[in-house]
Amino acid sequence: LKEPVGVCGIITPWNFPNAMITRKVAPALAAGCTVVIKPSEFTPYSALALGVLAERAGIPAGVINIVTGMPTEIGNEIMANEAVRKISFTGSTRVGSLLMRGAADSVKRLSLELGGNAPFIVFDDADLDLAIEGALVSKFRNGGQTCVCANRILVQAG
């Protein structure tokens, strides 16, 4: 028998605020869960605007909950609160490690999308003009502030 996990804590970064929230909230709602969203303290209005849109779309009160403020205090409450059964976090490896320890103590389910070291690979048979254009877009999209931004460019020799 498949059942909703329960309340999901959604912790999102500043660099893609609406995309990260909707990407995490949609599957939780589809599975029958309610959510508590803790957006970045740098982009709280994006989350609040999505909350207004959800309300206008007819999502019942209490299904999508948004808490803004100081990250450590809110994060600690989300981790300690027994009603929260799953955490979904996108952000730094350092904070992800802290959340992993906290989730282990309370046996919460945990999904982490942490900082990466993304390679851009160019093979011998690549169209070099397209590869250069793709590398520049990959490295500098969103000011280079994404976890999938190319940090290493590897070119096949041979």
Catalytic residues: 113, 147
Contacts 24+ apart (CB under 8 A), 133-137: none
Instruction: Measure the CA dihedral 109/71/11/92, to 10°.
Output: -90
| Nearest-5° Cα angle at 10, 8 to 11 | 150
| Nearest-5° Cα angle at 76, 74 to 82 | 105
Element (H, E) at 102: helix 93-106
